[in-house]
Amino acid sequence: MPDPGNVQTAVDRYRDLAKYLIGILAAIGALMVAGTQLSSIGELSWSDDAPRLIAAFAGLAVALAAVVWVVWRALDVLRPVEMSLAEIDRRPKLRKVIESEPRILAGAKRVSVLAALIRDSTLTSPDQRQKWRQVAARVRDRAALLEMQRRFDRAWREMIGAALIGAAGIALLAWAANPGSEEASGEPDALVAPIPTPVLISLTNGGRQALGEAVGRQCPEPIPGLATGGSRTRPVVVTTATDPRCKPAQFVLSPTWGHANNLERVGK
């Protein structure tokens, strides 16, 4: 049984461990977020990328919920531990542990008996009550340490679990915010051949909104053009349509704006 005189030191040690744990988890989370390119989420549109937007917000919600849970469990460890004999007596598991250590009760045998010896002046003299108050102080210290152990044992497991769930949320957010990695189908994002290559350009709804003024809002699709560089998933294209409703324009065609067929791969 720990020395009751060192109870506060032991309790403070548990609190320090909780602080270190939340600091480590926060550092790991910051590194994960820093390595996630979230700026791409601004290129997603509801009309063309609704599943990815839903996944991105779901991942963000999961990550935030995990952060809140980690902080909540840490605060449970950091809050003061105040135990009374009545509180100990109301908690069967805690009372059973205390009463299994007869030395700390100094012969009282039960927590309820100890409380009665202090409370009832017909059972004890003033000097005896003072003695039992000292015993009660040791019992409360022991109960406080046991309570802190219980809080910490529960908290660190839940904090680790929440951190793993939060990491999954960040991974989901990163996947949803960066569609280019999936659309490459596992192949390198090869450069387009430097020789201008004829292509036919099809725009998404988001592409129409973003490029409508540049290419002509009434320009029919597919729009003829030339790929002059860039990559397979983000080619640099120049429209060459002769239709009077179309305008010549040059832009980088991102996956969220549309796609161009007939792209030649380097080495072919």
Domain residues for 116? 4-178
Q: Are 79 and 201 within one domain?
A: no
- Domain annotation covers residue 184: no
The confidence score (pLDDT) of residue 153 equals 87
CA distance 203 to 195: 23
203 shares its domain with 149: no
- The verdict on residue 243 lying in a domain is yes
Residues 155, 20 contacting (CB under 8 angstroms): no
Whether residue 14 is found in the same domain as residue 81: yes
User: Does 220 lie in the same domain as 146?
Assistant: no
| pLDDT given at position 42 | 59
pLDDT at 181: 46
Q: Are 170 and 63 in contact (CB under 8 A)?
A: yes
Decide: 265 and 190 in contact? Cβ < 8 Å: yes
pLDDT in the model for residue 265: 44
The domain tally of the chain equals 2
Residues in the chain predicted with pLDDT less than 50, given as ranges, are 1-4, 181-188, 192, 265-268
| 142 and 215, same domain (yes or no) | no
On whether residue 186 sits in a domain, the answer given is: no
What are 265's strand-pairing partners?
192
pLDDT at 70: 85
Q: In terms of domains, do 61 and 174 share one?
A: yes
The model carries a pTM of: 0.53
Task: Report CA-CA distances (Å) from 213 to 8, 245, 249.
Answer: 71, 11, 10
CB 261: neighbour CB atoms within 10 A? 10
Question: Is residue 250 assigned to a domain?
Answer: yes
